[in-house]
Amino acid sequence: MADYNFGAGPSVVPQEVLEVIKREIMNFNHTGLSILEISHRSLDFQALISEAKNDLRALMGIPADYEILFLQGGASTQFMMLPLNLAQNKTAYYAISGIFGKKAYEEAIKASQLENIDVVSIGSTAHHHYDRLLKIDLEKIDFQKAAYLHLTTNNTVEGTAIFPENLPESHEVPLIADMSSNIMAVDYDISKFGMVYAGAQKNLGIAGLTVVIIKKDLLSKDQVLPSMLDYQVLAEHQSMYNTPPTFAIYVAGLIFKWVKAQGGVKELERQNRKKAKLLYDYIDQSDFYDNPVYNINERSICNVIFRCPHQNLDVEFANEAEKRGLLSLKGHRSVGGLRASLYNAFPVEGVRKLIEFMKDFEEENK
């Protein structure tokens, strides 16, 4: 029986992509070199990175006035680069609906020790244990001073998401989104955002690459920052200010081609909705399992959180599931419980297998 990887990131990579990597690992593009060895300045790599950028632009419908940056350091690095670049002498606003949103806010506060940045939370659902999204009240924002409003489109740990139709409509302040766990899994209109960013290890490939998509007019030309922290410098050098993570970019490029072959982002969103619905429907009809998300229309289609009636059953569930080839179902260490991450590359058969197992486990433990 094939194993299914429900991990939240690093996570499942399409089998077809793994096959290509295996084939090319000794000889990339007939260069006689491994993809691991080729220079980032070589024509082969230049072609690869510009193709990856073009594919990403086409797949996500990224307008021409947005830069695409391939960076390192994960979303956590963006948590501080964002305010350092965009909020000097301004106010950075945060809507906090999950632990990563809270981290983004806390890192901005740390960044404000280095620059004159005012960091303001417009609210948090922490008192509800992040079981719901913050209702964003734009009245709380001083548009004269605002650099941006930051939010998280998908809360990986808590299993909630702001879908496109629920995004705040504010043309007076750039919306910035951490899209790490649902980029290319939900079809967002990028023109609604000033910047979006995402670690690649969920829907875009492997750990070690971070994608930043930023409106060009937000790039500052007169601010002095160390080069590796400066979006303007990184954009001028086309993500090649220094040696980029060549292999992770190569894998992302393969993922983009795979997404195209699947029919694009809209089609993957349709499939993701179908996979998530299967699982939510099963949870909802069960008296044994429970999904803690308060508002049904805020349920993530990428990370489905559920719990057994008792915490010790959650642990047993994860261990037993592992034996049946259903891997990495343990919830995030900060909240416990169970979590099934159903990213683009996760097959619907895996959801069916999970539901089968859930039935058996309920039968044995109810």
Q: Which of 66, 79, 94, 163 binds its own copies (CB under 8 A)?
A: 79
Q: Is 201 marked within a binding site? A: yes
Length of the chain as a residue count: 366
Q: Which of 242, 295, 297, 311 binds its own copies (CB under 8 A)?
A: 242
**Using rule CB under 8 A, residue 237 touches its own copies:** no
Cβ distance to its own copies smaller for residue 136 or 176: 176
**Using rule CB under 8 A, residue 72 touches its own copies:** yes
Which parts of 201-220 interact with its own copies (CB under 8 A)?
201, 205-209
**Using rule CB under 8 A, residue 138 touches its own copies:** no
**Using rule CB under 8 A, residue 76 touches its own copies:** yes
CA distance 279 to 301: 10
Sort strands 338-341 and 303-306 into parallel, antiparallel or unpaired.
Answer: antiparallel
Measured in Å, how far apart are the chain's first and last C-alpha atoms? 27
CA distance 10 to 208: 10
Instruction: Report, in Å, the least distance between residue 174 CB and its own copies.
Output: 21
**Using rule CB under 8 A, residue 16 touches its own copies:** no
Selected range binding its own copies among 38-46, 136-144, 160-168, 279-287, rule: CB under 8 A: 38-46
The candidate with the shortest Cα–Cα distance to 155, out of 339, 283, 319, is 339
The candidate with the shortest Cα–Cα distance to 231, out of 218, 249, 245, 242, is 218
Q: What is the DSSP letter of 331?
A: P
Instruction: Report, in Å, the least distance between residue 251 CB and its own copies.
Output: 7
Phi, psi angle pair for 274, to nearest 5° = -65, -45
Which parts of 102-131 interact with its own copies (CB under 8 A)?
107, 110-111, 113-115
Q: Is 88 marked within a binding site? A: no
**Using rule CB under 8 A, residue 101 touches its own copies:** no
Amino acid, res. 310: H
CA distance 298 to 132: 7
CA distance 54 to 44: 16
Contact set with its own copies (CB under 8 A):
2-3, 5, 7-13, 18, 21-22, 25-26, 31-34, 36-42, 72-77, 79-80, 107, 110-111, 113-115, 199, 201, 205-209, 224-229, 241-248, 251, 325, 327-328, 333
